[in-house]
Amino acid sequence: MTGLGENPGMVMARHWYSSSPVVDGLPLLYEPGFWPAHLADLSEGISPEAFGADAGDVGAMLDKLHDPSAWPVFTVPLAGGFTIVVHYNSGEEFTSTDYFLTHPDWSQDLVLASDDQDRIGPGLCWPELAALLEAPAGAVGVTNTHARLLLLLPVLGDIALPEGAVAAVVRALAAQGAPESSEPLARHLLRGHPMWGAQGWWFDEDERSWICEGDHSPRKVPLGDHLPEQLRVALEACLTPG
């Protein structure tokens, strides 16, 4: 499929990684220290103990996530055949975490966020992220609701967060071993990635898409603007709260 136009947020994600040492990152979710390591940029200045983790475990996990010989990849299955793919990219000259929205009928994948030198993000507002927390029936990949929220949290950047967002992150942290009194940590994590922070969003009724006001966001243009109608409707349904 083509028809994606010259959207600057579209890249050949599979081409980029076709010769890379990619490994399945799913087992890492269950290892000690994963969540404070994955959320290290968002939780700068906060001790691993706030996550209920040991500093040594977090350091060892950071080594795994940034191992140049094995790049972890995580797949978050969505409705309608869409998937968010999380790639750790540890090249010789740079290290980044890249978040792609993919579909089997696309020849190119949409970059939602990347913390490389180009700083791309945020890629999701809270209503969209909330709509993605439940995995489709029979899906394979990261299907746990709490894990999906925490894994995709770096993509989020939204100044208009409801109190329910804080409660959802507190529940997710507690499910992964954090103390139950983790509201301050949750609020800190929801401030947005330090590369792009929290931004304003508005919903374009004509384009049927959320639009981000952030200078570095790929969502300054309507998501799915160049898609065929059938795929665009499916994408809209995927990102709409149920």
Asked if 237 and 131 touch (Cβ cutoff 8 Å), the reply is no
* Per-residue confidence band for 84, with pLDDT thresholds at 50, 70 and 90: very high
Q: Which residue has the tokens 């990619």?
A: 22
Structure tokens at 100: 């792609």
Structure tokens at 173: 């942290």
* Residue 93 confidence (pLDDT) above 60: yes
Phi/psi of residue 105, each to 5°?
-90, 0
Give the up-direction half-sphere exposure of residue 225: CA atoms within 13 A in the CB hemisphere. 19
* Per-residue confidence band for 91, with pLDDT thresholds at 50, 70 and 90: confident
Q: How far apart are CA 220 and CA 42, in angstroms?
A: 23
Would you give the distance in Å from CA 66 to the centre of its chain? Answer: 17
147-159 residue pLDDT tens:
999 999 999 999 9
Q: Which residue has the tokens 């599979």?
A: 14
**Count of CB atoms within 10 A of residue 38's CB?**
26
* Residue 7 confidence (pLDDT) above 70: no
CA distances from 161 to 40, 123, 140, 190 (A): 21, 15, 29, 8
**pTM for this model (two decimals):** 0.91
| One-letter identity of residue 63 | D
* Residue 13 confidence (pLDDT) above 70: no
pLDDT for the residue 175: 95
Would you give the distance in Å from CA 163 to the centre of its chain? Answer: 20
112-129 residue pLDDT tens:
999 987 899 999 999 999
197-226 residue pLDDT tens:
999 999 998 888 899 999 999 999 888 777
Mean pLDDT value of segment 161-177: 95
